[in-house]
Amino acid sequence: MAQGLRLVLFGPPGAGKGTQAQLLRDRLKVTHISSGDLFRYHLGQGTALGLRAKEYMNKGELVPDEVTIDIILDKVLSVPNEEGFILDGFPRNPHQAEELEKALSGAVRGLDKVVHIEVPEPVLLRRLGGRFVCRDCQAPHSIGEGEDASKVCSQCGGELYQRDDDQPKAVKKRIQVYNDETTPVLGFYRDRDVVVDISGDQTVDDVNQQVLAALDA
């Protein structure tokens, strides 16, 4: 498989984009750019951007475009032209998609594929209710009902916790916002014939194999 692919992972909250991004990053040797991780990094550093983002993220709402676009494009454009990247959590509306396309038009090439992971809403609600992340490396973990939430990270041994935006009320708001504001981005990319649709209602390995097969094609 050729290296240097430029991908967007697209799907609702809880679709498994973060997990697939990590698997693809390791397989394809490309940079993983997560909008959520970037915002949390700035929040952890106490930057003005992080504090501005916090109030929106905690309510399950989208961070305003002017904040999101600047931080993401700065990171995207720092990746050398010959190298690839995986965008996870961006773009989230047609305006962001247009700004990304404009920014990449000044580079050697644009996006290669948009991987759309589809998952039914009841499955999303169940998954997000059991989603925990590592405080140290931000690796996602799934903890089912009745399981011990004090487990440690399987990757680095760090403490696991549940983010405010994975609480039930915020989860429902995030899915509503996705349906209303983010779904139109699919139409933007379908017009450019770069979308591949993958069923996310299966095992992590099965989803990953389907994604890799689609990228080979």
Catalytic residue among 17, 25, 52, 172: 17
Active-site residue, 25 included: no
CA dihedral 113, 110, 50, 117 (to 10 degrees): -10
114 forms beta bridges with 8, 195
Active-site residue, 169 included: no
What is the pairing mode between strands 195-199 and 6-10?
Answer: unpaired
Query: Closest Cα to residue 194, out of 4, 7, 2?
Result: 7
Q: Is the dihedral of CA 54, 69, 19, 183 positive or negative?
A: positive
Q: What Cα–Cα distance (Å) separates residue 79 from each residue in 32, 87, 167?
A: 10, 12, 34
Active-site residue, 52 included: no
Contact (Cβ atoms closer than 8 angstroms) between residue 149 and residue 160: yes
Catalytic residue among 6, 40, 92, 127: 92
Active-site residue, 131 included: yes
Active-site residue, 163 included: yes
Catalytic residue among 25, 27, 54, 163: 163
Distance CA 209, CA 23 (A): 10
Positions marked catalytic: 17, 92, 131, 163, 174
